[in-house]
Structure 1
């Protein structure tokens, strides 16, 4: 099993940082000097759970990741492989994850490049393995939900029934936080579902690919992460929160 980070997005709401950097390299250290980024935190988590290899899907400002690749490999002891998304500034992340379909065939822990979270999330996913699950989503069942969150309805026996932002928050079991464990056996069906998803609408999310899988009868499971401080960075308010959280890890 290896790590996989989606880091191809532009993150235009985080300008001026993202004028020159992909979202995953926006500074989350308290001083904002760039000593710690989301990518740093994620690679550190991967290393802490024993992953020795990781792939990063790059696109927008990919040269910034290339420039830091050797330093990141040395710092975290993780061999990095870059996967290039040629449509990063045109299409949404269903296509971005599909670009990594060959990587997923090795089995991955997938992390969004804009999610600041502690290593306990990866541990929760790894601990949940062993009962035939092929895809396990990290689920926050504690947070009070609103309209913007990626909400999930899950059945204890059947797994995910719905995953979408377009849902009454009161109906949801929790929020998907952007971290997934994907076993090798799920790679081919997931790739096919992602392809169908972006071909239907290139602006769809990879979570829509998960829904496509569920609609085809494939079981997608969840693991509750407990009471955890985490944040998805979409704007400067989120970034400020990320800096408060990151210094706690």
Structure 2
């Protein structure tokens, strides 16, 4: 299994910090970016082969590859998304389709979280589970969150931002374990999704799979300190989270 990070978007709501940087390289505290934290998390759970999907300001990631590899003891491969500035992440994940056959631990490039989330996903692996989502069932939900309805009996039934928060089981926090057995089905669903509308999310491809009878499972991450960085308020929360940790490396 390899790590996979989606870091192709432009992060317009974080301007001017993202005028020349992708969100994944915006400093949280001096010398520490989301990508630093994500790579450290992968290394902490024993995953050292990592692909990063890049698009907007890709050269800034390319320039840091050797330093990242040395610092975290990982080997990086960049996957280029030529639509990163204008299309959504269903296409971005599809760009990495050739890597899905290895099995991937996927992380969005704008989510600050501890390595315990990756470990929880790895610990939840079972022979009949092909896709497992990390789910926060503790956080109060609002309109913007990627909400999920699921049960132990059926797995995920709905995943969309459009759900009434009162009906949702929890929030998908942007990390997924994808087994090799899911690669072909997910690749097809992603292609159908971005071809239908290039502005759709990869979670829309998950819903397409569910509608076709494909079971997607979840693992609860408990009371985990995490944040998805969409705007400056989120960045401030990320800084507070990182500063509360004993170490940032």
Question: Normalised by the size of structure 1, how large is the TM-score?
Answer: 0.97
Q: In 2, distance between residues paired with 1:108 and 1:165?
A: 24
Partner of 2:174: 178
Partner of 2:19: 19
- Residue 121 (1) aligns with residue 96 (2): no
Which of 91, 98, 114 is residue 94 of structure 2 equivalent to? 98
Supply the RMSD in Å over aligned alpha carbons: 0.7
Q: Which runs of 4+ in 1 moved over 4 A?
A: none
User: Equivalent residue of 1:161, what SS?
Assistant: strand
User: Equivalent residue of 2:86, what SS?
Assistant: coil
Q: In 1, distance between residues paired with 2:77 and 2:244?
A: 29
Displacement, 1:132? 1.3
Length, aligned pairs only: 245
Which of 131, 138, 147 is residue 135 of structure 1 equivalent to? 131
- 5+ long unaligned stretches in structure 1: none
- 5+ long unaligned stretches in structure 2: none
User: Equivalent residue of 1:88, what SS?
Assistant: coil
User: Equivalent residue of 1:167, what SS?
Assistant: coil
Cα distance change, pair 132–51 in 1 and its aligned pair in 2 (3 A): same
User: Equivalent residue of 2:158, what SS?
Assistant: strand
Which of 145, 154, 157 is residue 153 of structure 2 equivalent to? 157
Partner of 1:6: 6
Q: In 2, distance between residues paired with 1:100 and 1:223?
A: 24
Displacement, 1:131? 4.2
Which of 70, 80, 92 is residue 76 of structure 2 equivalent to? 80
Q: In 2, distance between residues paired with 1:247 and 1:216?
A: 44
User: Equivalent residue of 1:217, what SS?
Assistant: coil
Question: Normalised by the size of structure 2, how large is the TM-score?
Answer: 0.97
